[in-house]
Amino acid sequence: MISFILNDTTIETLQPAGMTLLDFIRYEKRLVGTKIGCREGDCGACTILLGELVDGQMQYLSMTSCITPLINVHGKHVVSIEGINGSDLTPVQQAIVDESGSQCGFCTVGFVVSLTGECLSRKISSYDDVVGAVDGNICRCTGYKSIERACNNIHSHLKEKDISNPIPWCSKNKIVPDYFNRIVERIEHIKPLPQSIGAVTIGGGTDLLVQKHDDVYESSIQGLFGKKGSIGIKVSEGKCSIGAITSVSELMESEEMIGMFPNLFNHMKLVASTPIRNSGTIGGNLVNASPIGDLTAFFLALNSSILIQNNNGDQRDLFLKDFYRGYKTYDLAVDEHLIKIQFDMPRENTHFNFEKVSKRTYLDIASVNSAMSIILSGMIISDIHISAGGVAPIPKYLAKTRAFLLGKILNEKTILAAIDIMQDEIAPISDARGTESYKRLLLRQLFWAHFLELFPEKFELITLKSVAQ
Ligand SMILES: Cc1cc2nc3c(=O)[nH]c(=O)nc-3n(C[C@H](O)[C@H](O)[C@H](O)COP(=O)(O)OP(=O)(O)OC[C@H]3O[C@@H](n4cnc5c(N)ncnc54)[C@H](O)[C@@H]3O)c2cc1C
Ligand code: FES
Ligand code: FES
């Protein structure tokens, strides 16, 4: 039986583990404040907060309920707009009213929930953080300037936030009702679900519930999301290992990862939106096997390996670059799961970069993406790994280009020669994200962009002219 707290009510339900939280909230509980827009995680109309007990305190994150399976909320606190409303408008709602941040109102519920989540966070919220909290909420009629003004207004309220105790502070300031203060003791009474083996493995569900919603609803489920944090991100003896169920948000906030990849935040901001990053996992991105998976491109360029385990506990290792066999096919038996991903920690002279081109800068999947890690000894390329997405049926590790570049002097001539080899190594197709020739051009430009970004003093923009010819 799945058990959780929905607003101020404890729920115990025998509904299918793969049912969407949105359907449960609206059709089983008749809480219709949460809206249905796209049902694909794209619009934010269905945003809820999911509260989890972390280090003795509740931590609330925004998620899109339309692609959250019921199993993922077991033992947690689900907050819909009805669980935020009080007798008066909350300061978040008042800010939207004061700044004319709503017209038809269809999106407004999602904005209020996301912004309330930011108020509850255990950090000092900058103006950019407040605006960033609604990066998964789309409004078709108000105009974003008035919503930005509302964010600014909310930001001014948060200057006094007690970040060590945000929940009592928020309830004192009427941002959330008083019952939030008593959730911890109620959550502690919910027992974890017993270990089960199901036909469908689910991480965050952000790919599966978009692509195969009906199959998930009807199947037995093996949920991994509830076991979040059990492996985490560990650095030891020159290796970094990351649990497959680590979410994209956990990855981008990890101090270990930021220490190794100072640009991580900017790179990960290009992946989906806050609510999707809060639920989407690394393992899900790798096993989804999309040729344009951003995390897949990121980890391929670190020459990562993956640890796989079957239901008997037998384990095996393989390089991520050897995992993919053809379009959406890979080396994983039905009773196997991805447990973790590992890579050698970057050395002092390792340089790493990730690039992505999509139709929109944010909240869009890539037309083409690429990552590169390179180690230089003087100007000699002593090691290099390059990945490319959107240019082949599988996420592509550019093995031939690497073989050519190893031991070469890094200069324009070498890069131009490598581009020729790279073009032979890929096989893009024309589709909604661009023609074959456009994708070839994009990869060529992204490859250059790695060098412009990593070695600006050596490669200036004029080198781009020679590429464009
Ligand atoms: C609106 C929206 C925007 C998005 N934008 C981006 C984007 O910009 N870039 C991008 O790369 N992706 C994007 N995605 C795709 C998705 O969010 C990511 O791929 C995410 O990392 C998937 O993780 P998940 O845990 O939700 O996967 P799930 O949906 O839970 O699972 C995906 C697949 O992996 C399998 N699986 C999951 N975990 C494991 C495991 N540990 N072992 C074995 N199998 C497993 C599942 O069975 C399933 O086949 C977007 C999705 C949405 C809805
Ligand atoms: S309905 Fe659009 S994100 Fe859920
Ligand atoms: S107010 Fe109408 S969609 Fe945002």
Instruction: Kindly give the distance from the C-alpha atom of residue 346 to the centroid of ligand 1, in angstroms, as a whole number.
Output: 26
In a domain, residue 221? The reply is no
> From atom 3 of ligand 2, which residue's Cα is the shortest distance away?
41
In a domain, residue 64? The reply is yes
Res 467: pLDDT: 55
Res 363: pLDDT: 86
In a domain, residue 209? The reply is no
Task: Indicate if 327 and 401 belong to the same structural domain.
Answer: yes
Instruction: Kindly give the distance from the C-alpha atom of residue 284 to the centroid of ligand 1, in angstroms, as a whole number.
Output: 4
Q: Give the three-class secondary structure for 13.
A: strand
In a domain, residue 445? The reply is yes
Task: Indicate if 310 and 431 belong to the same structural domain.
Answer: yes
Task: Indicate if 73 and 191 belong to the same structural domain.
Answer: yes
For 286-318, the pLDDT digits (tens) are: 999 999 999 999 999 999 999 999 989 999 999
Task: Indicate if 375 and 332 belong to the same structural domain.
Answer: yes
Q: CB 334: neighbour CB atoms within 10 A?
A: 8
Mutation test of ligand 1: which of 201, 242, 296 has the most ligand atoms closer than 8 Å to its C-beta?
A: 201
The vertex-167 CA angle with 61 and 169, nearest 5°, equals 135
> From atom 21 of ligand 1, which residue's Cα is the shortest distance away?
285
Query: Total domain count for the chain?
Result: 3
In a domain, residue 422? The reply is yes
Sign of the four-CA dihedral 423, 429, 432, 435: positive
In a domain, residue 208? The reply is no
Per the structure, the complete domain to which residue 132 belongs is given by: 91-176
> How far apart are the C-alpha atoms of 253 and 91, rounded to whole Å?
28
Mutation test of ligand 3: which of 36, 103, 145 has the most ligand atoms closer than 8 Å to its C-beta?
A: 103
Mutation test of ligand 1: which of 67, 201, 206 has the most ligand atoms closer than 8 Å to its C-beta?
A: 206
Mean pLDDT of 69-92: 96
Q: Indicate the pTM of the whole model.
A: 0.96
User: Residue 262 maps to which CATH number?
Assistant: 3.30.465.10
> How far apart are the C-alpha atoms of 296 and 149, rounded to whole Å?
37
User: Residue 113 maps to which CATH number?
Assistant: 1.10.150.120
> From atom 53 of ligand 1, which residue's Cα is the shortest distance away?
41
> How far apart are the C-alpha atoms of 291 and 268, rounded to whole Å?
17
Task: Indicate if 297 and 167 belong to the same structural domain.
Answer: no
Task: Indicate if 338 and 450 belong to the same structural domain.
Answer: yes
Task: Indicate if 109 and 138 belong to the same structural domain.
Answer: yes
User: Residue 189 maps to which CATH number?
Assistant: 3.10.20.30
Task: Indicate if 358 and 454 belong to the same structural domain.
Answer: yes
The DSSP call for residue 194 is: P
For 216-265, the pLDDT digits (tens) are: 888 888 888 765 555 689 999 999 999 999 999 999 999 999 999 999 99
Task: Indicate if 168 and 193 belong to the same structural domain.
Answer: no
In a domain, residue 217? The reply is no
Cβ-Cβ contacts under 8 Å for 145 (sequence gap 6 or more): none
Task: Indicate if 56 and 130 belong to the same structural domain.
Answer: no
Task: Indicate if 258 and 395 belong to the same structural domain.
Answer: yes
Task: Indicate if 55 and 195 belong to the same structural domain.
Answer: yes
Q: What band does 457 get if pLDDT is binned at 50, 70 and 90?
A: confident
- To the nearest 10°, report the CA torsion of 429, 430, 431, 434: 120
